[in-house]
Amino acid sequence: MRARLDQIREQVQAQIKSCDTADKLNEIRVAVLGKKGQLTELLKSMKDVAPEERPKVGQMVNEARAEIERVLEEQKTRMEKALREARMKAEVIDVTLPARKAELGHRHPNTIALEEVERIFVGMGYEVVEGPEVERDYYNFEALNIPADHPAKDEQDTFFVTGDILLRTQTSGVQVHEMEKGKLPIRMIAPGRVFRADEVDATHSPSFHQIEGLVIDKNITFADLKGTLAQFSRELFGENTKVKFRPHHFPFTEPSAEMDVSCFKCGGRGCRFCKGSGWIEILGCGMVHPHVLEMSNIDPEEYTGFAFGVGLERIALLKYEIDDMRLLYENDIRFLRQF
Amino acid sequence: MNAALSWIRAYVPGLECTDQEYCDAMTLSGTKVEGYERRDRNLEKIVVGQIKSIEKHPDADKLIVCQVDIGQETIQIVTGARNVKEGNKVPVVLDGGKVAGGHDGGPLPEDGIPIKAGKLRGVPSQGMMCSIEELGSDRNMYPEAPEEGIYIFPDDTTVGADAVELLGLRDTVFEYEVTSNRVDCYSVLGLAREAAATFRKPFVPPVVKETGNQENVNDYVSVEVLDQELCPRYLARVCKNIKIGPSPQWMQRRLASSGIRPINNLVDITNYVMEEYGQPMHAYDLDTIAGHKIIVRRAQEGDQFQTLDEQMRRLDGDVLMICDAEKEIGIAGIMGGENSKITDNVTTVLFEAACFNGPNIRKSAKRVGLRTDASGKFEKGLEPHNALEAINRACQLIEELGCGEVVGGTVDVVRPMPEKKLLPFRPEKYNKLLGTQVSGEEMLEIFRRLEIGIREKEDGAVELVIPWFRQDLNCDADMAEEVARFYGYDKIPTTLPDGEATAGKLSYKLRIEQKARDVAEYCGFSQGMCYSFESPRVFDRLLLPEDDALRRTVTISNPLGEDFSVMRTISLNGMLTSLASNYNRRNRNVKLYELGNIYLPGELPLKELPDERMQFTLGFYGEGDFYTMKGAVEEFFACVGMKKRPAYDPDAKKTFLHPGRQALIRYEGVTLGFLGEVHPQVLDNYGIGERAYVAVLDMPALEPFTTFDRKYEGVAKYPAVKRDLSMVVPKSILAGEIEGVITQRAGKLLETLELFDVYEGSQIKEGFKSMAYSVTFRAKDRTLEEADVNGAMKKILNGLEQMGIELRS
């Protein structure tokens, strides 16, 4: 029996080693371990073995079986591995061929700039609100301390629909709408489209966008205005950005200022971009005029506030170095794809 | 406003600073300097030389050879100028120097023209004698310069002196941006006052005395103002025995530095005072004034009037006129009349210094079509006190310059002038507004520099007396700004508001719009921006019928032109125009989207504000079709929480879309917008040479169905059963109808329904199409039995058969 087993084992191991396909391997398995296989046949001859020998012989047969199965399995793994490797070898690709891209669309540079500004102010606790683009004279002018005969109201600048209804020339009217809601304190920015009667050219458009800001609370100071806008400028233009406030005049703020930021191209040394001055004019701002507060039923002795207005296109043009405002409204895909 | 620094210095004698220092300091104290230009730019090494001898050039008929004494030495200069004589004193640029321009007076080169010693036709020349054009100016500003050739100095000029200095060109002209509240700063004196306060130097204005002889002006002229609203003050003075001649050089130089051409002493004095005081004046020839009477009144509607520039002007009832006893002689504040023009034969002059209603002057100048230096000043609303100072200054100059004899007295027709303004001094209030701790004493020191009076009342409180030229100071905030300007905006601390915390957020509407942008871009659409106004002809281009409601527009009464005259009522024109311009530029596969308002009017003419509706517009040409667009729309719906299946109604009736390829988009019975292929005629109208697809979603209609709430619904635990449905369908039946029947009949077990094949062609009988759906059933709580599915399928099949659909095995 033992001799027969050894013989089968050796014979099978040799067969397995020389075997090169999965089919042949299976044939071997059937020939040895199958229902009519050699090992099975051998087991059948157990009846000829003395009963006391049987457990021993049985164990021997089972061991032989286990060993053959193990060798079969090893050979199978080896073959599969070789096959996979051969396949992968055949599957080498040129990784420098062009990428297959999903054609994503592109956001308008104005929107990119706006979202940047919104992100900064939302982070500082400001609510983003809107107001009507076709507006009443009262909100665009009168409630902002721009009385009937003020030059700022001149027809040259303002598009009128009727005597009382016009296309807003500034987002500042949203200040008044917010103040009239009577909910204090206020921290808001109001982005939106505004209109002025300027012919289209590289630096003008009859329709453009502003972002208005308004904070009203007890104890708001000009120092708070400076601090807030300085922080905004650093976030928007970079950590090293410096700001400069120059006195100016707006009818609805007092004191008023214009703010320059240090040129983010040359860092303030002076270059063509900032016309050699090292500074770039960015926005107008000031403390809300007490008369404006009064008109919206806020007591200027108790509350103070600051407001600012910034041109969105100005930021987009500066930040992305776009040299012609007309590009923003032509919607040429070759332009938009760069953002 | 432009002014030379030398003129400012005349009133601020202690002012010492570089141009840049002046520019920076003035800007930081609130008088913004836009820029400055040195008048001696590119004028180097130019001295006064005297021509000692002139000889002919041996080899050139048109050249002469001069020996010129330049002080230390005599040099030889060859020139082609023909106006010079021996003994003349002339500007000479030496070897290595520079002049500003060429002798022909063309545009000045950026870096000037360098001059070097050399030879002219073989004869050495060590420099150049200069014309006024070469010195960067012209005869308009230097009327004494010869018409052609070299500028010649007066005989008493010192040889070797700095010629540039003598011509008044060692100076810098500053350009100021004066804000509209500072009317006082539209004058050299106003600017000088600010400069004195900024640099803490004494301000020394001219000392003006009311001159005049023993006569009484009222014997010469009377004045009647019929509309005091439009003319709050009218001052008149008379000067007789007028001797017209050139004004002195110092005055000519100052006018030239402000870009004003010297004419004669009389004109120059009025211009000089206008610059100095910011008060325009007018001079009439008294002998042309009928009845020696001035009447200020409104024009008659439709009057015609010839102004000084010989143009006929059409007037209306809002234009204020200066008239004599018989006729109109000038448009108030804008321009005098041809009929009262001063000639060189004038003997008696009537000076007018008036205050007119600023807005009225501005509007009149616009309607009459004539904006002058004078109207530009008047429209800012001049201070009545200033007019008196100015007219007295002019009369004083008439006398000082020997131009005539001033008649005693002034005719003054004036409305009661505003009371002196008094404001309480509230230092703690100013500090509270600014966030500073400036001492009261420092504030008072600033106010003193600004000529603000400080008065202690009986109760010890301090009161500020606002000078009349500061119309802009009216409240605490104004005074706080004065403190801030001179304390220094840069010295105010930087802090952050420390009040109650507020939640930063976008409005819900803006969040939905943000999502729309995300989805559009994910689907390959790029964001465009379009104008809100367009031409009414857009409606024809979109084939809208004459009576279409969209033709009712919010119309701009003063548009930039017809192309920008109506507020859009439909967003498609912008999209199609953008696609067309891309198509023209041969850009392929262009996909755009836009988020912008349309403006729908209620009652017309407009009483209430129009309904502004945000439109989400998508458009493309190139790869893709109707269903690509539909996919983008549904992707967006899914992203804003609209989970139900939208319905598409092909009967959209959009004239601008392909009649067989358009649909209204409905959601829970509400129309949210439309989509479709652009009508071929519309494509032609816009010049788009291939099929284009558009979709428009009305965001306010859509918003109520949106939500950002998300709930987990579990992952299916039990297996699904899939059945395929293959059918032959009459062409007139839409997929939507079939899906409606399947959805309704299958009931709750239906999980998904997917069309996987549509075919029309030779193997299908005429008038039919073949369609195949894959239907998936699943129950949430159990494994489906064969019988469940069969039952559902049976119902579906029955329903489809009732529609005339043949099922294929």
Average pLDDT of the residues of chain A = 91
Q: What is the chain B residue with the closest CA to A132?
A: B612
| B140 found inside a domain | yes
- Residues B466, B432, single domain; the answer is yes
Neighbouring residues of A106: CB distance < 8 A, sequence distance ≥ 6: A336, A337, A338, A339, B521, B526, B527
Asked if B529 and A224 come within 8 Å (Cβ–Cβ), the reply is: no
Same domain flag for B517 and B639 = yes
Nearest CA in chain B to A123: B504
In this structure, the number of other CB atoms found within 10 A of the CB of residue B578 comes to 25
* Residues of chain A neighbouring B182 (CB-CB closer than 8 A): 249
Say which of B433, B492, B585 has its CB closest to residue A304.
B433
Q: What is the pLDDT of residue A155?
A: 62
Q: Is B429 helix (H, G, I), strand (E, B) or coil?
A: helix
Which of A57, A90, A123 is a domain's end point? A90
State the count of interchain CB pairs (< 8 A) between A and B.
Answer: 253
Q: Write the ipTM.
A: 0.88
* In-domain check, residue A99: no
Mean pLDDT (whole number) for B269-294:
95
Q: What is the pLDDT of residue B762?
A: 84
* Structural domain contains residue B97: yes
Q: Specify the DSSP class assigned to residue B337.
A: B
pLDDT value for A265: 83
Q: Which residues fall within 8 angstroms of residue A273, CB to CB, at 6 or more apart?
A: A263, A265, A266, A280
Minimal Cβ distance to B554: which of A149, A161, A207: A161
What average pLDDT does range B412-436 have in this prediction?
94
Q: State the pLDDT confidence band at B571, using cuts at 50, 70 and 90.
A: very high
Task: Pick the residue from chain A with its C-alpha nearest to B578.
Answer: A331
CB atoms within 10 A of CB B671: 14
Q: Where are the alpha helices (DSSP H) in B542-642?
A: 572-584, 626-639
Are A193 and A221 found together in one domain?
yes
Q: For residue B390, give the CATH number of its domain.
A: 3.50.40.10
Q: Is residue B66 scored above 90 in pLDDT? A: yes
CB A247 to CB B498 under 8 A? no
Subunit contact A248:B564, Cβ cutoff 8 A: no
Q: How far off is chain A from B556, nearest CA to CA, in Å?
A: 5
Q: Give mean pLDDT, residues B40-52.
A: 95
Q: Which residues of A touch B362 (CB under 8 A)?
A: 151, 154
CATH number of the domain that residue B754 is part of: 3.30.70.380
CA distance A128 to chain B (A): 5
Question: Is the confidence at residue A46, as pLDDT, over 90?
Answer: no
Query: Residue A175 in contact with residue A307, Cβ under 8 Å?
Result: yes
Supply the Cα-derived Rg of chain B in whole angstroms.
Answer: 41
Statement to judge: residues B111 and B157 lie in one domain? yes
Q: What is the pLDDT of residues B662-720, one digit of tens each?
A: 999 999 999 999 999 999 999 999 999 999 999 999 999 999 999 999 988 888 889 99
Residues B409, B429, single domain; the answer is no
Question: Which one, of B446, B249, B274, B453, lies nearest residue B354 by Cα?
Answer: B274
Non-local (6+) Cβ contacts of A62 within 8 A are: none
Q: Are A17 and A160 in the same domain?
A: no
Interchain pair B434, A254: CB under 8 A: no
Q: Which of residues 160-199 of A touch B (CB under 8 A)?
A: 160-162, 165, 167, 185, 187, 193, 195, 197, 199
Candidate from B359, B499, B596 with C-beta closest to A149? B359
A123 contacts in chain B (CB < 8 Å): 504
* B534 and B571 housed in the same domain: yes
B344 contacts B246 by C-beta, under 8 angstroms: no
Q: Is A146 found in the same domain as A57?
A: no
Say if A269 falls within a structural domain: yes
Q: What is the mean pLDDT of residues B101-124?
A: 90
Q: Are residues A20 and A146 in the same domain?
A: no
- pLDDT in the model for residue A253: 96
Domain residue limits at A69: 2-90
Instruction: Tell me whether residue B716 is in a domain.
Output: no
What is the model's pLDDT at position A17?
82
DSSP string for residues in A277-308: SSEEEEEEEEEEPHHHHHHTT--TTT-EEEEE
Q: Which residue of A has its CA nearest to B588?
A: A333
Whether residue B499 is contained in a domain is answered as no
Beta strands in A200-252 (DSSP E): 207-217, 243-250
Task: Show residues of chain B in contact with A226, CB under 8 Å.
Answer: 492-495
In the predicted model, what is the mean pLDDT of residues B390-397?
97
DSSP structural state of residue B70: -
Most A-contacting residue of B371, B523, B529, B553 (CB-CB within 10 A), to test interface: B529
Q: Which domain holds residue B82?
A: 44-166
Looking at the structure, do residues A38 and A81 belong to the same domain, yes or no? yes
Distance CA B73, CA B70 (A): 6
Both A308 and A206 in a single domain? Answer: yes
Q: Which of residues 469-498 of B touch A (CB under 8 A)?
A: 472, 475-478, 480-481, 484-485, 489-490, 492-498
d(CA B512, CA B705): 11
Q: Is A92 on the interface with B (CB under 8 A)?
A: no
**Is residue B204 in some structural domain?**
no
Residue B131 in this model has a pLDDT that exceeds 70: yes
Residue A104 lies in a domain: no
Position A76 in a domain:
yes
Chain B: nearest CA to A95, how far in angstroms? Answer: 26
B710 in a structural domain: no
Output the pLDDT for position A56: 84
C-alpha dist (Å) from residue B68 to B77, B80, B83, B86: 7, 15, 15, 9
Name the domain count of chain B: 6
Distances (CA, A) of A209 to A110, A194, B241, B510, B512: 9, 6, 62, 16, 20
Q: Are residues B184 and B292 in the same domain?
A: no
How far is residue A35's CA from residue A23's CA, in Å, rounded to a whole number?
18
Nearest one of B305, B301, B296 to B355, comparing CA atoms: B296
Residues A290, A228 within the same domain: yes
Task: Please check whether residue A97 lies inside any domain of the structure.
Answer: no
Domain count for chain A = 2
Same domain, B278 and B374: yes
The verdict on B409 and B442 lying in the same domain is no
Examine residue B110 and state whether it is found in any structural domain, yes or no: yes
- Surface of B (570-609) touching A: CB under 8 A: 578, 581-582, 585, 587, 589-593, 596-597, 599, 605-606, 609
Give, in degrees to the nearest 5, the angle at Cα B75 between B71 and B81: 105
Nearest to B532 among A133, A228, A258 (CB): A133
- Among chain A residues, the shortest Cα distance to B623 is held by A103
pLDDT exceeds 80 at position A258:
yes
CATH number of the domain that residue B553 is part of: 3.30.930.10
Residues B347 and B266 in one domain: yes
CATH of the domain at B432: 3.30.56.10
Mean pLDDT across chain B, nearest whole number? 94
For A122, which of B475, B481, B505 is closest by C-beta distance?
Answer: B505
Instruction: Tell me if the pTM is above 0.95.
Output: no
Domain co-membership, B471 together with B387? no
Do A85 and A114 lie in one domain? The reply is: no
The pLDDT value given to residue A16: 84
% of chain A residues with pLDDT over 90: 63
Looking at the fold, whether B396 and B306 belong to one and the same domain comes out as yes
**What's the pLDDT tens digit per position in B489-511?**
999 999 999 888 888 999 999 99
Whether A156 has a pLDDT exceeding 70, the answer reads no
Percentage of residues in chain B having pLDDT higher than 70: 100
Burial class for B20, CB neighbours closer than 10 Å (0-12, 13-18, 19+): exposed
Chain B contact for A135 (CB, 8 A cutoff): yes
Residue A95 domain flag: no
Contact B378/A at CB under 8 A? no
Window 159-218 of B: residues touching A by CB (8 A cutoff) are: 179-182
**Using the beta-carbon criterion (under 8 Å), do A151 and B593 form an inter-chain contact?**
no
Choosing from A26, A61, A90, the residue where a domain stops is A90
Q: Is A34 in CB contact (< 8 Å) with chain B?
A: no
* B371 in any annotated domain: yes
pLDDT of residue B809: 63
| Confidence at residue A126, expressed as pLDDT on a 0 to 100 scale | 96
Subunit contact A161:B556, Cβ cutoff 8 A: yes
Condensed to tens digits (0 to 9), the pLDDT of residues B756-783 reads 999 988 888 888 999 999 999 999 889 9
Q: What is the pLDDT of residues B327-373, one digit of tens each?
A: 999 999 999 998 888 888 899 999 999 999 999 999 999 899 999 98
**Are B274 and B128 in the same domain?**
no
A-facing residues of B in 785-804 (CB < 8 A) are: none
Q: Judge if A121 and A76 occupy the same domain.
A: no
What pLDDT is stored for residue A37 in this prediction? Answer: 83
CB contact under 8 A, B506 and A118: yes
Chain A residues with CB-CB distance to B498 below 8 A: 219
CB atoms B587 and A334 under 8 Å:
yes
A125, A134, A165 member nearest B503 (Cβ): A125
Q: What is the mean pLDDT of residues B99-115?
A: 89
Q: B455: how many CB neighbours lie within 10 A of its CB?
A: 11
